[in-house]
Amino acid sequence: MWFEHNILSILIWLPVLGAVAALLSKGDKAARLIASGFSIVNLLLCIPLYLAFDTSSFAMQFQENHLWISAYKIHYAIGVDGISLAMIMLTNFTGLLVILAGCQAIKVRVAQYMAAFLIMQGMMIGVFAATDAILFYVFWEGMLIPMYLSIGMWGSSNRNYAAVKFFLYTFLGSILMLVALLYLYIQTGSFDIQHFYSLHLSMHVQKLLFFAFLLAFAVKVPMWPVHTWLPDAHTEAPAGGSVVLAALMLKLGIYGFLRFSMPIVPEACEYMAWFMIVLSLIAIIYIGLVAIVQTDMKKLIAYSSISHMGFATLGCFMMYEIIRRMSSVPDAYMSLEGAVIQMISHAFGSGAMFLGVGILADRLASHSRQIKDYRGVAARMPIFAAFFMLFAMSNVGLPGTAGFVGEFMVIMSAFQAHFWIAMVAALTLILASAYTLWMYKRVFFGPIVSDEVAAMQDLNWLETTNYVLLAIGVFFLGLYPAPVLNLLHVTIGHILSLSMPA
């Protein structure tokens, strides 16, 4: 097709164009329509992208390359491999959900809200598509601004604290990454990420680079102990912001590990593997326990996200231990692919649950997120309760839902790495069901708590549409993950070979 050569650029800039159009539009209704239209088109554009993608090649595809700043040889260079393609499709899917949910929930400054999320979507696609380190960095930081604004403007009572905490945390993290990128530029004379892979750096340098990257990515994931921004950001953000945070932004950290840390400084990664494994296990157990005692639904889901992301980081860094113990490389596939699947599947379950909290809060005058303010919702909103049960089960990791696949693959791999890693990781089966279902019980079951809950209306058609889309995602990934994995195999294999210590 005619647009195939520029399809990635279109995907990145079309939402930005949509944002401008939404801002210029007259009236809230027009802004909603324009934003929905642009995000639907963007999602549809993923179809030709997916169909034309060659799964048998690990090379970057749909490449575009233009010199941007000649003095520093910075290029506008974009392209996708299996992982970034999967993430771009996920971004567009989530983008549409968020816009649709926003059409309903947002009543003030609608055009600006739509614009902020469309720009965020564009920036996010840019991050996943960039093959030039500076371009990557620009998108990486660029996406912070609309996120910061969305928390600060449409957030709830304590939004200023949360927004500043979010911004400083993530910004301070990524500043060291910029230093690392500059160092790599001096070494290679180029900002092309591919060129970084062929560097042979001394262990000392590798360790320094590893920590520079680690700080940036660990904050994003977030890993224990740099996770405390997330619960605050989530609770204060509007529902759409929470969805984007959970479904997409956290994944950038894992993506960074896979794209930068592991292939560029493999020896350091191997050296630090146990450190990372322990941090991941702390995330799984400690954060799981913290999630149990939350009284705020959004905080609970936020902590549960951190715990789930622990599986993704565990899957990434366990590969070194697996290769060492099993002395076979194919065994490590499951670990890495499990991590990537966990990234994708988590988007559906937690995204849906955050939307659900938004749906509940919308129906209460106080917009409360406190568990105690709800009880017996199932009696009034049976359809919503059924959907939420499905997503809760995905969060619990029930087989047949999206949440199971990644968790299962990582636990299977963990046993190959070490008995006790698997043992500790598997405790999530208990913890996740405890915090998720205990919350579900207190919100949905039991006698109706107040007249306000008694007056709740079940899902309207727009909310139902959103949930049907998410339910399809949850079932598809849970029952038939093979196509998604098929997209990943070759790319994962390539990353694996790059990440092997020499």
The contact mask relative to another protein for 18-47 (x = CB under 8 A, - = no) is ------------------------------
Count, in order, helices (H) and strands (E) of the chain.
Answer: 25, 2
Q: Contact between 427 and another protein (CB under 8 A)?
A: yes
**For residues 80 and 378, which CB has a smaller minimum distance to another protein in the complex?**
378
Query: What is the size of the binding site for another protein (CB under 8 A)?
Result: 58
Q: Contact between 228 and another protein (CB under 8 A)?
A: yes
Q: Contact between 455 and another protein (CB under 8 A)?
A: no
Residue 397 carries which DSSP code? T
**For residues 131 and 294, which CB has a smaller minimum distance to another protein in the complex?**
294
**For residues 98 and 334, which CB has a smaller minimum distance to another protein in the complex?**
334
Q: Contact between 293 and another protein (CB under 8 A)?
A: yes
Q: CA distances (Å), 64 to each of 80, 122, 142, 314, 392, in order?
A: 10, 16, 20, 33, 41
Among 37, 142, 152, 400, indicate the residue that binds another protein (CB under 8 A): 400
157 C-beta neighbours (distance < 10 Å), count: 10
Least Cβ distance, residue 51 to another protein (angstroms): 21
Among 147, 264, 318, 378, indicate the residue that binds another protein (CB under 8 A): 378
Total residue count of the chain as it appears in this document: 502
Its sign, for the CA torsion 184, 187, 190, 194, is negative
Nearest-angstrom CA–CA distance, 35 and 112: 11
Least Cβ distance, residue 24 to another protein (angstroms): 39
Q: Contact between 461 and another protein (CB under 8 A)?
A: no
Q: Contact between 398 and another protein (CB under 8 A)?
A: yes
Least Cβ distance, residue 480 to another protein (angstroms): 7
Its sign, for the CA torsion 262, 263, 264, 267, is positive
Work out whether strand 61-69 and strand 74-80 pair parallel, antiparallel, or are unpaired: antiparallel
Q: Contact between 406 and another protein (CB under 8 A)?
A: no
Q: Which of 217, 476, 497 is nearest to 333 (CA)?
A: 497
Query: Given the rule CB under 8 A, which of 21-29, 51-59, 357-365, 433-441 is the region that contacts another protein?
Result: 433-441
Least Cβ distance, residue 190 to another protein (angstroms): 33
Nearest-angstrom CA–CA distance, 423 and 281: 10
The residues, any chain, with a CB within 8 Å of residue 74's CB and separated by 6 or more, are 67, 68, 132, 134, 135, 191
Q: CA distances (Å), 416 to each of 257, 328, 370, 375, 457, in order?
A: 22, 11, 41, 44, 50
**For residues 20 and 423, which CB has a smaller minimum distance to another protein in the complex?**
423
Least Cβ distance, residue 209 to another protein (angstroms): 24
Q: Contact between 399 and another protein (CB under 8 A)?
A: yes
Least Cβ distance, residue 338 to another protein (angstroms): 8
The amino acid at residue 166 is F
Query: Given the rule CB under 8 A, which of 1-9, 325-333, 363-371, 454-462 is the region that contacts another protein?
Result: 325-333
Least Cβ distance, residue 283 to another protein (angstroms): 12
The reply to whether omega before 225 is within 30° of 0 (cis) is yes
Its sign, for the CA torsion 228, 231, 235, 241, is positive
The contact mask relative to another protein for 152-191 (x = CB under 8 A, - = no) is -------------x---x----------------------
Q: Contact between 445 and another protein (CB under 8 A)?
A: yes
Q: DSSP secondary structure string, 208-268?
A: HHHHHHHHHHHHHTTPTTS-THHHHHHHHS-HHHHHHIIIIIHHHHHHHIIIIIHHHSHHH
Nearest-angstrom CA–CA distance, 170 and 441: 35
Q: Which of 137, 162, 306 is nearest to 241 (CA)?
A: 162
Least Cβ distance, residue 66 to another protein (angstroms): 37
User: How many Cα atoms are found within 13 Å in the side-chain-facing hemisphere of 215?
Assistant: 18
* Interacting residues with another protein between 72 and 101 (CB under 8 A): none
Interface contacts to another protein, rule CB under 8 A? 165, 169, 225, 228-229, 286, 289-294, 330-334, 337-338, 376, 378-379, 389, 393, 398-400, 405, 408-409, 411-412, 414-416, 419, 422-423, 426-427, 429-430, 433-434, 437-438, 441, 444-447, 479-482, 485-486, 489
